[in-house]
Amino acid sequence: MDAARWQRLSPLLDELLELPGALRAQRLLQLADHDPDLARQLRALLQMEHAAGDFLDGPLLAAAAPHFRTGDRIGAYRLVALLGEGGSGQVWHAEHLQRAEPEGLALKLLHRDCVDAEARRRFLREKEILESLSHPGIVEIVAAGATASDQPYLVLKRVCGEAITDHCRRLQLALPARIALFLQVCEAVAHAHGRGVVHGDLKPANILVTAQGRVKLLDFGIAVCACAGDAAVAEAFTLHYAAPEQIRGEGAQPCSDLYALGVLLYELVTDRKPYRLRRHSDAEWEKTLLSLEIEPPSLAMRCARSEREPAAAAMRLDAIVLQALQPQTARRQPSVDALAAQLRAYLESRSSARGWVSRLRQRAWRIGG
């Protein structure tokens, strides 16, 4: 998608997002009468914005009537309960007919109306990508196949958890604990990058934290594998976590994942996204993103309310976060491992500084006493 096309699509996308479902469908039909290709791209963007490849988000557009029901069998699996439905498929809680999994399984199934050559190719690519990855922070694939009606499906180990941002807010985690969770995310993403895989859609909904405090990276539905010669999917991204090069239509690259991690890190540190909008409009978001008017995290920080961050430490963290959010790819950290190393060094220096201050206070108390 070139910049001129996106300039045409962006305001229409804003308009459609503000309409209720019935009016949105009617407006799409009107647009299709004049420009069928434009309407098709808008439908795809609407699905990506609210589903963005994550089947566990609720559907934005009317999905195909469910073909399967609780208790139905697909291959060696029984469907237990519908976990969620998106614009292109469903995710079911499933169980193997002969052996049990402690957390159960998740069966990801394409809608019948979405089964075309491209959808099959992407499903196969997701299967191959997940099979190439082996990391405790990445969801594990169990099996793949097709139903009797030739609908592709993937079976994954089910991950019970909550989005990383929700987890941090609910527990009111202090800054070091938030960064420690983020470092788990970095380890999983670095593992993928080491095998030539770019996730392309890193966001809180795709990064869950389990009850044991372990991070799990989900949904490689739009991921690409450079080593396999995959072309980047230029139209697939979530705007609020997309890098400038993705918005320009260049597709996801390792540096794009790093940018998305920068957005997530800013959000974990401050409890808000790095951009302030007068209205939550994607056109305004795009303009703000490309102009990069970002407030330093230290000025927006709210997560460590009981702690006052020393000025030197705050400036160091600001520099790390803002480097990841640079619009020019060459100005970001050279890799996710480099970003993680900066954060580990920051935590170490922060701990040392606080220990030194604590010792000074104890000494002053003894002298004063």
Q: Kindly state the DSSP code that residue 93 receives in the 8-state scheme.
A: E
Question: Which H/E stretch holds residue 162?
Answer: strand 161-163
Cα of first residue to Cα of last residue in the chain, in angstroms, is 71
Has 116 been annotated as catalytic? Answer: no
For residue 340, the one-letter residue type is: A
- CA 1-18-260 angle, to 5 degrees, is 50
Q: Which residues contact 81 (CB under 8 A, 6 or more apart)?
A: 70, 92, 93
Q: Which of 54, 201, 257, 318 is catalytic?
A: 201
Q: Kindly state the DSSP code that residue 205 receives in the 8-state scheme.
A: G
Instruction: Give yes or no for a contact between 47 and 316, defined as CB atoms under 8 angstroms apart.
Output: no
Q: Which residues contact 189 (CB under 8 A, 6 or more apart)?
A: 199, 202, 217, 257, 261, 336
Residue 26 to residue 107: CA distance in whole angstroms? 33
Annotated active-site positions, please? 201
